[in-house]
Structure 1
Amino acid sequence: MDEAVQEPMEQGSLLLDDQLCFALYAASRAVTARYRPLLGVLGLTYPQYLVMLVLWERGSVPVREVGAALQLESSTLSPLLKRLEANGLIRRERRTDDERSVALHLTPAGVELQDKARGVPVSIGDAMGLTPEQHATARQLLRLLTANVTRE
């Protein structure tokens, strides 16, 4: 194994290769770039795909629930929803029981897109080249990291 991988990072190191944040940044950019052509065929951007994943999983939901699931502010989410609606994949409706709340619903085209998207996770998984155990460990560590960093 490479010595740099085995040795712990020196406290306060300013070497780029010692920065976990850079490794996360580079990995995120690489994975997002791998998604781009797969999602382009579906007519989606990566953030739009994430919104669709929430709707495919949960069905009709309030906008605030999608924002919470994706950890996005409404100012970031609103333009995504407008584009998805303009593309005929979702519909936004004020709830009758609470006019301040807007619910999101999949259109028939949005439901149909789910079947076309089924190969995306498989392709991304293949590109990552992780064993199921490594995948589970990476996901668990990233969730722990997120929880620790966002804790107040």
Structure 2
Amino acid sequence: MKEKTIDYVLRATWMAVSKMYNEEAGKAGSTMATGFALLSIDPEKGTPSTSLGPKMGMEATSLSRILKSMEEKGLIVRRRNPQDGRSVLLHLTNFGKEMRDFSKKVVLRFDEAVKENVSEEDLKTFTRVANTITDLISEKKIHQEEIAINSIHKED
């Protein structure tokens, strides 16, 4: 392809970021997914297991595997929710809090490095463009014509 598509740039960038996070997490015997989960769990109050998937944008089966691994490594414990005995709260252990701090430092260092090398104006533009792309996708405004064509064919 002579020109790179927006999709290509997004995928290549995310793959580079993901690889970097996994390399850093690997230094502490962890993964990017575990780090993301640690950052998504409230370190003081805990987090309902049911709200973690949507918060992280993950399917329940993938999240279950990550949580099982985190529990086995002693990063989290599951406790009954005192407000609703049917649900479970995920709490960080002391080790989980240490690893959460490590993950937070990795993320903040990445932010720092980008901010040192990209102007504030460019970062604002990047954020606006990324939000627009997310909105186009979530509002299903990209493949409208395919949806219309499919509904026409269904009527035939």
TM-score, normalising length from structure 1? 0.75
| Alpha-carbon distance change, 54 to 33 in structure 1, aligned in 2, over 3 angstroms | same
Rg larger in 1 or in 2?
2
Alignment-derived partner of residue 76 in structure 1: 62
Structure 1 consecutive aligned stretches of length 4 or more whose deviation exceeds 6 Å: none
Taking only the aligned residue pairs, the percentage that are identical comes to: 28
Matched residue count: 138
Alignment-derived partner of residue 118 in structure 2: 130
The answer to whether the aligner puts 1:92 opposite 2:78 as a matched pair is yes
Gaps of 5+ in 1: 1-14
For residue 103 of structure 1, report the CA deviation from its aligned partner: 1.4
Alignment-derived partner of residue 43 in structure 1: 29
Which of 47, 60, 67 is 2:46 aligned to?
60
Alpha-carbon distance in 2 for matches of 1:25, 1:133: 23
Report the aligned-residue RMSD.
2.5
TM-score, normalising length from structure 2? 0.73
1:30-73 CA-to-partner distances (Å, cap 9, x unmatched) read: 11111122111222211111111111577411112211111112
Alpha-carbon distance in 2 for matches of 1:139, 1:80: 29
Structure 1 residue identity aligned to 2:6: L
Alpha-carbon distance in 2 for matches of 1:58, 1:21: 38
1:83-130 CA-to-partner distances (Å, cap 9, x unmatched) read: 111111111234354344221111111112233334312432355432
SS of residue paired to 2:30 = coil
